[in-house]
Chains A and B, each alone.
Chain A
Amino acid sequence: MTGAQIFVEALKKENVEVIFGYPGGQVLPIFDKLYDAGIRFILTRHEQGAAHAADGYARATGKTGVCIATSGPGATNLTTGIANAYMDSVPIVVFTGQVKSSLIGNDAFQEADVTGITRPITKHNYLVKDVKDLARVIKEAFHIASTGRPGPVVVDIPSDIQMAEADFEYPKTCKMRSYNPTLKGHPGQIKKAAKAIAQAKKPIIYAGGGVIISEASPELNALATRINAPVTTTLMGLGGFNQRNELSLGMLGMHGTAYANHAIMESDLIIAVGARFDDRVTGRLDAFAPNAHIIHIDIDPSSISKNIKVHIPIVGDAKNILRELIDEIKKAPDTSHWLDTIREWKKKYPLRYDNNSDKIKPQYVIEKICELTKGEALICTEVGQNQMWAAQYYTYTKPRTFISSGGLGTMGFGFPAAIGVQAGCPDRIVFDIAGDGSIQMNIQEMMTAVVEKLNVKIAILNNGYLGMVRQWQELFYNRRYSHTTLVNPDFVKLAEAYGAKGMRISKKSEVEKAIVEAIKTDNVVIMDFVVEPEENVFPMVPAGEAINRMRGLA
């Protein structure tokens, strides 16, 4: 078999059902085999779109996403998508063509040092130098991407390797002496944690994306119920805990709810699960949760005590550890006082916005989308105000329903990710909550969505600004709106030019009707909501301040 055939056969063995990508000179042999391989191929209009689509697919389905591009510019265009997947621990395998082995290092046409460029933004990467290694490398790539703390793996394949011949034998298992993630928690540490929980008076569970990755939502729910502890999640953890549950505090951090931030600051025990104490969560480090003992459950030892000193670290898979922890708890702590205090905070500081104006408030649009989809849609977001409002005002009840660029904060992620989500979940309603800035960063993927009938509903919260940057300029730069005012195209005509449906909504009374119509429409839809231009995301903790020092509370 040729390398290209091995590639196709290996992907079949990995049960890959869809590949996102873009062809080019150095992947011609592979594309020739993909032509009739029987694997769905989605041609994006830019390689970045392919990487984000693979990422969105992986987040929504829990399977490993796959994308492919050619050497040089094809590969460099993927890098934002790779870095994005790396920051949020998303399993994707990225294939790139490379110039012929004999030309590597010669500054050949469309050559780039792809393993060099992607080294700091991948979990691991490979340059395949011998066709005999190809099957094993692909096996390892899928294994590494999807196990332990997941992440992107790049496999760079020179074009001569794609044409060279070797016997095909796909390894059944993957044994690597240097890679053995710890899955089972240390029993002694779990006992210690159970003891600390029994003694706590003001415990709080702080859950991150790790809960979703390890499919540990049921266990998280069981723990919270067992010990009567409130649960706050990070942006990445949204959906990991049912927000309709009374114990839910919603999201914490810079734009978290006031009650989540107060609760974590006042707590005497933090049970962190699959979260990494990111600066957007902790605020000023030396002021963070001064009285709290910290239990930290994480599969990545390097996440533990990286920012915040942890008292009881437990390394391993969240699902396993939560199960064992629940079994270990003999007596639930009495948290009734604590929950009363929290109830008061919830009453005193609800998430709120002024909905009395005639103009459309962006928060209102999100609430309406939530209401009309019964909270059952898959919500992708871009980055900025749109993302924060989508995080705050949609009620997430199930894992893998909120798909957003957390760590890297990539504008332009949401729409191509939504395409990947829709490809992986064809029967679901998929929304991309966008801003007028972000949507234009990968607007070319309109064509991909229309051609592939991936009928994503795009809700642009159009305020004519790069809203989040403008908000910072308003609050911290004396309202000097330096280069944040946007002149935009006619999004309705733009949608139509791509063969999609476009709607402009400028009256509050039209919002509901438009959303209903969009959901009913058997096509890609752009809803251009003309919203209050200078609306801000509140509450807000200024960068570097303690997270209970929130602005924008009533």
Chain B
Amino acid sequence: MRHTISVLVENKFGVLARIAGLFSARGFNIDSLAVGETEDPTVSRMTIVVNAEDERILEQIKKQLHKLIDVITVIDLTKKEFFERELVLVKVAAGRENKSKLEKIVHKFNAEVLHSDKDSEILEAALKEEEVRDFLSVLKEFGIKQLVRTGKIAIPK
């Protein structure tokens, strides 16, 4: 099962390496990881999405994270109500004949056109996990030339 874990850490150099090392040393897989400063500049928040086969592994991940000296709190958002978004930048093939079709999709997903030229468009969208999947599968028909994703960020209610 996929879990979204929100981790508050000291905003110091080397913290990301400690977290990454913890996962790699134990063979846990990170699906995505996003880091940024919080309202308090001495604290960063990491949103980590992991796929844990069972509860025991998830428990270990949380405990091991908490054990790191620079980790302040670990919250498993999966059990709470939270909002999540992932920012997607995508360059799709779009000739003249496809522009209007693409416009509908942009509208449907609340996306934005950042750039458009005669055979491609660069789109931006901030979406939930499933919506990203849908968005990209629709765009696949046009041909995705380049895709950049931030990984998920999340905030509890």
Contact = CB atoms under 8 A, between A and B. Distances in A.
B69 A179 contact: yes
B69 A120 contact: no
Contacts of A127: 14
Contacts, number: 35
A115 B14 contact: yes
Contacts of A306: 60
A144 B68 CA distance: 11
Contact of A301 (B14, B66, B70): B66
Contacts of B18: 119
B71 A302 contact: no
Interface in A89-128: 115-116, 119-120, 123-124, 127
A179 B9 CA distance: 11
Interface string B60-94: 10011011011110000000000000000000000
B157 interface: no
B56 A116 contact: no
A28 B50 CA distance: 46
Nearest to B59: A305
B60 A177 contact: no
Contacts of A300: 67
A179 B10 CA distance: 11
Given A115-B14, A302-B64, A124 B69 contact: yes
Given A115-B14, A305-B56, A178 B64 contact: no
Contacts of B72: 177-178
A301 B63 contact: yes
Contacts of B17: 116, 119
B73 to A, nearest CB: 8
Nearest to A127: B14
A125 to B, nearest CB: 8
A306 B59 CA distance: 9
B36 interface: no
A144 B63 CA distance: 18
Q: What band does the interface of chain B fall in when counting residues whose beta carbon is under 8 Å from A? A: 10 to 19
A300 to B, nearest CB: 7
A176 interface: yes
A115 to B, nearest CB: 6
B69 A176 contact: yes
A117 to B, nearest CB: 11
A544 to B, nearest CB: 20
Nearest to B69: A124
Contacts of A124: 69
Contacts of B21: 119-120
Contact of B69 (A115, A178, A302): A178
Interface in B2-59: 9-10, 14, 17-18, 21, 25, 56, 59
Contacts of B71: 178
Interface residues of A, number: 19
B147 to A, nearest CB: 31
B56 to A, nearest CB: 7
Contacts of B10: 178
Interface in A263-304: 300-302, 304
B69 A144 contact: yes
A302 B65 CA distance: 9
A176 B21 CA distance: 22
A300 B64 CA distance: 10
Contacts of A179: 69
A127 B66 CA distance: 21
B63 A123 contact: no
B25 A123 contact: no
A120 B25 contact: yes
A178 B18 CA distance: 14
Contacts of B9: 178
A135 B63 CA distance: 30
A306 B25 CA distance: 15
B60 A123 contact: no
Interface in A32-68: none
Nearest to A144: B69
A116 B9 CA distance: 18
B69 A123 contact: yes
A116 B20 CA distance: 12
B70 A178 contact: yes
Contact of B67 (A120, A302, A305): A302
B87 to A, nearest CB: 28
Contacts of A144: 69
Interface string A443-470: 0000000000000000000000000000
A354 B71 CA distance: 55
Contacts of B25: 120
Nearest to A178: B72
B64 to A, nearest CB: 5
A120 B21 CA distance: 7
A279 to B, nearest CB: 16
A123 B70 CA distance: 11
Nearest to A181: B67
Contacts of B64: 302
A274 B106 CA distance: 59
Contacts of A305: 56, 59
B68 to A, nearest CB: 8
A123 B67 CA distance: 9
A-B residue pairs, 5 tightest by C-beta: A302-B63, A124-B69, A178-B72, A301-B63, A179-B69
16 contacts: A116-B17, A119-B18, A119-B21, A120-B25, A124-B69, A127-B14, A176-B69, A177-B72, A178-B69, A179-B69, A300-B67, A301-B66, A302-B66, A305-B56, A305-B59, A309-B56
Interface of A: 115-116, 119-120, 123-124, 127, 144, 176-179, 300-302, 304-306, 309
Given A176-B69, A179-B69, 17 more contacts: A119-B17, A119-B18, A119-B21, A120-B21, A123-B69, A124-B69, A127-B14, A144-B69, A178-B9, A178-B69, A178-B70, A178-B72, A301-B66, A302-B64, A302-B67, A305-B59, A306-B60
